[in-house]
């Protein structure tokens, strides 16, 4: 194990307002709990450059586009810590890097920001609702509200601006982002996970360090939240297993709750056809200590029950016939 310099802890972050806010939260925690000086280092990512150019990002092939540049900076020593939105992390491990901490998670649900303070159910048929997420599109179609779901790109300001300008009637965003930016009062509805399950890892932050360094151990002891880590580990296991068997939109949410015999982990997951017409929805529970096992077994059952027949390109209309 190598020892990291006693100088400032350099945190790599994307340059967006949300990313720097999230990294700033981690910086504050590390200053408080490690007693170390901390500084933010902005790193440009391929995802940011692609988004600025207006190139679509939707789809599983884009997993990690916001992550690789930060990981490169971590591996080559430009930064000591990298902070990501955990839902952006690929499910496979990165050589030389470890997930040192998952801090306490923000509320993972999705929210609606709509004109005139409306909810989705109050919008008229044909209303234009913006989202760039196939997961949200499929689940919103499944609600049968007759909404016109259209792609939307850009940061929170850009997306909400399309509602304020009248271009869209509403947009759907992660509640966590609005909360961290202090803009939660702009949400007009919080979506119940019974209707729309969030993305695996949504609302959680990933704090990565170089493997085998003292700093990784220190960061873990200082800011890792065991309940948040168990929940996202289960959700990511669901995602990893389903991604191996289908390319359908996927939602998952896990929670650690108090059971009769101590803490229990509850996991809900859904895989859908892109139009929301077909869905495989299941839940499972188990020990937080076996979070990966619980998520993996749940996803395997979903694949066996028909999720393997769901794809992004050609929904199998015979499924569950």
Q: Is 290 a catalytic residue?
A: no
Residue 192 has which token pair?
């119940």
Residues 6 or more apart whose CB falls under 8 angstroms from that of 54 comprise 153
106 alpha-carbon distance from chain centroid:
11
Torsion angles phi and psi, residue 35, rounded to 5: 65, 30
* Catalytic position from the list 28, 46, 48, 88: 88
Q: How many CB atoms lie within 10 A of CB 275?
A: 11
Q: Which residue has the tokens 């590390």?
A: 30
Length of the chain measured in residues: 321
Looking only at the bridges linking them, the beta strands covering 110-114 and 189-190 are antiparallel
Do residues 34 and 9 touch, judged by C-beta distance below 8 A?
yes
Looking only at the bridges linking them, the beta strands covering 81-85 and 205-210 are antiparallel
Sign, Cα dihedral of 112, 115, 117, 119:
negative
Instruction: Please identify every residue annotated as catalytic.
Output: 88
């Amino acid at each position: 194990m190598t020892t990291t310099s006693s100088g400032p802890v350099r945190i790599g972050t994307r340059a967006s307002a949300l990313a720097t806010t999230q990294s700033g939260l981690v910086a504050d925690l590390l200053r408080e709990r490690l007693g170390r000086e901390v500084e933010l280092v902005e790193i440009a990512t391929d995802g940011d450059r692609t988004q600025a150019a207006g190139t679509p990002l939707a789809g599983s092939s884009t997993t990690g586009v916001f992550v690789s540049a930060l990981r490169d900076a971590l591996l080559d020593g430009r930064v000591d810590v990298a902070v990501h939105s955990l839902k952006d992390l690929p499910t496979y491990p990165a050589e030389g890097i470890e997930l040192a901490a998952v801090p306490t998670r923000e509320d993972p649900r999705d929210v609606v920001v709509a004109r005139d303070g409306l909810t989705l159910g109050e919008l008229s048929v044909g209303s234009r609702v913006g989202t760039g997420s196939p997961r949200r599109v499929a689940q919103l179609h499944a609600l049968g509200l007759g909404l016109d779901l259209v792609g939307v790109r850009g940061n929170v300001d850009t997306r909400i601006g399309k509602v304020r300008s009248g271009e869209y009637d509403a947009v759907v965003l992660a509640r966590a982002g609005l909360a961290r930016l202090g803009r939660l009062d702009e949400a007009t509805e919080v979506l119940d996970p019974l209707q729309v399950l969030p993305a695996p890892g949504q609302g959680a932050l990933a704090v990565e360090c170089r493997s085998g360094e003292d700093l990784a151990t220190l960061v873990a002891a200082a800011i890792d939240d065991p309940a948040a880590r168990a929940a996202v580990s289960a959700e990511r296991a669901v995602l990893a297993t389903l991604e191996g068997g289908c390319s359908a939109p996927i939602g998952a949410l896990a929670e650690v709750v108090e059971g009769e015999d101590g803490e229990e982990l509850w996991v809900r997951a859904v895989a859908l056809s892109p139009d929301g017409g077909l869905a495989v929805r299941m839940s499972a529970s188990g020990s937080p200590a076996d979070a990966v096992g619980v998520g993996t077994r749940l996803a395997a059952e979903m694949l066996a029950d028909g999720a393997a027949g769901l794809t992004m390109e050609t929904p199998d209309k015979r499924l569950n016939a």
